[in-house]
Structure 1
Amino acid sequence: MKEIDPTPLAFRELDRAAERLLAAVETLSDAEAAAPSRLPGWTRAHVLSHLAAQAPALERLLSWARTGVRNDQYAGREARDAEIEAGALLPAAALVARVRDSARSWQRAAEALPEPAWDATIVPFTGETCTPRRILVIRLRELVLHLIDLDVGHEVADVPAPARDIVLDDVVGYYAEAEKVPAFTLRDAEGGELARFDGGGPVVSGTRAELLAWLSGRDDGALLDAPGGLPVLPPWL
């Protein structure tokens, strides 16, 4: 499980990721927001509604870490899904405002979290036991990848290297622990080994952006170098 320390640099990357996303959607019309996103079954409005709801959900986990009182991310999947569906019906301007306000609130809460709370034990919606350092990764990952999912002109190749590498490490870490991952070795374009799955095997290589796009399901991996063919991976998240 990828975690990052709560440093000024980390907070700056999170703030920049939020600003990139907001800049890309601030002028969306209602019709554009209602258009399909790259996520099956979701419009752009669904993606924005999810982002607007996810920030306060992660803020609840920070509250748990700060107070020691359990404060679950969501009441349950049905409640989470219903909140997203309801938000997706809002006008585009209202949705973007919710994304902006919730992002700022979350950022303030994270930056104000007392030092001892960063070592507290919490449990996100996905079920793993972690510290708030993990929440920083989750938040960055959501901002980075959902900007691509919105289909507003941004690709994985456009993600700044520091944020890209954090998210790539997170996805690689997921597959390192996942079941039914075939044996293969992952290398970047410079030949650096990123991971050996199931003891290693045929090599899959490419730029870090290409690898992230494929591993996260945002691309079919056609640009990757895989002499033995691309392995079939279980779904990511």
Structure 2
Amino acid sequence: MIDHVRDLASVRDATDRLLTAAAKLNNDSTAEPSRLPGWSRGHVLAHLARNADALVNVLAGRPMYPSAETRDADIARDAPRALAEQLEDVRQSAAGFEAQAALPADWSRTITLRNGVTDSASRVPFRRWVEVELHHVDLGIGYELEDLPADFVRREITFLASRFSGNPDVPATRVTDGTHAWSTGRDGEPEITVSGPAPDLVGWLAGRRDGSALTAEGGLLPALPPL
């Protein structure tokens, strides 16, 4: 069962870790490339702030973004800002998300995200946690997939495996870290078993690693569609 209160506390902790680490940057290093193609570290920080605002909209019953073009334009606008302004924006937008989440609400209700995707409101805090943790890694400032909390990694593998479940372009696949196992891809008995350390599995599923550290039995490592 999803515990949105616990997830909100995890979001707060993850945000504090990110802000502490990013505070060691400077204006020049913020303008340097992140690990996301075409994005500087400033783009990543700007996206984190605007994503918090967007999830406030979701919880309040408004459209997540006015449009895809507006989302992209806001990130591009905010990316070149000085580090101090970036950090304050991340901090204030995170506080806004936390304040919205503290309002009395039916957490079992269905909410609408980008591109018409729907989900339970109770999963929104976890979705925000994903944003903060993975984009902390994307900043390329010493926080790696191996540093992610173990419970987060297991839940994110579960979430991503479910996201690709039933996809006709992904062969029926068993994913395992040797302790836990997940099924993904098109329906049917698993054709391929992908195994390896949990951080490498989440990196492959999330498009952060190429899967070269993983082992595929029964066929080639599946090529995953973009998230």
TM-score (norm 1): 0.89
Per the alignment, residue 58 of structure 1 pairs with 55
**Distance change (3 Å), C-alpha of 1:82 and 1:196:** closer
Q: Runs ≥4 in structure 1, deviation > 4 angstroms?
A: none
Per the alignment, residue 131 of structure 1 pairs with 120
Residues 4, 136 of structure 1: 8 Å contact kept: no
Per the alignment, residue 80 of structure 1 pairs with 71
> Which of residues 72, 92, 104 in structure 1 aligns to 2:95?
104
Give how far 1:84 is off: 0.3
TM-score (norm 2): 0.92
SS of the aligned residue for 2:39 comes to: coil
Structure 1 alignment gaps of length 5 or more: 65-70
Give how far 1:183 is off: 2.6
CA distance in 2, matches of 1:173, 1:148: 22
| 1:15-50 deviations in Å (ceiling 9; x for gaps) | 111111111101221110000001110000000000
Q: Percent identity?
A: 38
Q: Which moved more, 1:206-215 or 1:220-229?
A: 220-229
CA distance in 2, matches of 1:121, 1:202: 34
CA distance in 1, matches of 2:120, 2:162: 16
Per the alignment, residue 221 of structure 2 pairs with 230
Residues 45, 89 of structure 1: 8 Å contact kept: yes
CA distance in 2, matches of 1:90, 1:202: 46
Whether 1:212 aligns to 2:210 is no
Q: CA RMSD in A?
A: 1.6
Whether 1:18 aligns to 2:15 is yes
Structure 2 alignment gaps of length 5 or more: none
Alignment of 1:1-237 (within 5 A): 4-7=2-5, 9-64=6-61, 71-110=62-101, 112-115=102-105, 117-190=106-179, 192-198=180-186, 199=188, 200-227=190-217, 228-235=219-226, 237=227
